[in-house]
Amino acid sequence: MSTELRVDVIPSSAQGTFAIYEASLGLSATNHRLYRQFRTYNMKVKLTAPYHAGVEIYVLKDTWMVRNAIKKAAKVYYNTHVLAPGQEEKPARWHDFRIRPVNSGATISRLNPTGFQLDGSTSGLSYNVTSSGQYDMSDIRSQSSGSSFTMCIGDIGNSNQIDIISEYMNSDDTTSDEANASAIYGQFLSSSTPQSDTDDEGDLAPYNMTNLDNYLVKIDTIHSGKTTTATFDAPLGWIFFRHNANIRPSATDVLFGDSGNFQVIDSDGGTTACLQVIHSAGKYKGVRSEPMGKVIKINQKEYDVK
């Protein structure tokens, strides 16, 4: 069985704003199979038509903190959805643990796969977005209030969202120093005055324990002179795109039969410039992808994620 490893997407047209490609969505829609989000996908990005400006490529930082925050969220999610003894309900067939990328509470613009098909009326090619079906985000329900919260990464904007990174950092909160003593410089030089606050050293971690200043890392910028990135790993299969120049909405494209409803990039030659995500071949349903954690079922009512 072969796997389609190339996913074409139309970039967002807004300068300076982010759009995102999600591997689990793109591969699922392209291959008609369920690809799970709780993995790290190996891929690269290619510009498939000339474009005079640049498209910046970002991914989530692959750090212990980011990984542990995702695994902690998975553990909470699985343990709030476990079936109690005697329950007959089962998760839906394509049920999946999925985190939402947000900016000021709004879901970041998602780049769905595009595709080409024969157009019988014009004997040419028709150009359209591939249907992605249902792609729900994961909610958890409070045992005390019954309220539902969506798991997110980014700048949350309402009380029904949870930033899983902040929640993970707050779970081991150390905000103040244990030692409040202060030493004058002259006392430090005095041989008769003992140093009384040496236990201050090491009380706090050498990083901000209650906040992550940033969670993205830049991979590359592609343009007409450099059309392809190197291969990279993307946690959760997320790739963020940002344009660094003005982008204009395209008029109807005669070659591809574009209806004009899509925001695309006009190149100097009038060609619709598209991005293509190329997945590396591997053992996970035809692509190279490693799980971000191992879900361990302790008993019928409890899960752990390592």
User: Is pLDDT larger for residue 258 or for residue 100?
Assistant: 100
Confidence of residue 301 (pLDDT cuts 50, 70, 90): confident
Least confident of 38-42, 117-121, 148-152, 162-166: 117-121
Least confident of 6-10, 175-179, 199-203, 231-235: 175-179
What percentage of residues in the chain have a pLDDT greater than 90?
Answer: 32
> Residue ranges per domain, the chain?
6-172+207-305
pLDDT in tens, 217-251: 999 998 878 899 999 999 999 999 887 764 444 43
Q: What is the reported pLDDT for 231?
A: 98
User: Is pLDDT larger for residue 146 or for residue 287?
Assistant: 287
pLDDT in tens, 242-285: 877 644 444 333 333 333 333 445 555 555 667 899 999 999 99
Query: How many whole angstroms separate alpha carbon 305 and alpha carbon 295?
Result: 5
Predicted TM-score (pTM) of this structure: 0.82
**Mean pLDDT over the full length of the chain:** 78
User: Is pLDDT larger for residue 25 or for residue 272?
Assistant: 25
Query: How many whole angstroms separate alpha carbon 172 and alpha carbon 212?
Result: 13
172 contact partners, CB below 8 Å, separation of at least 6: 209
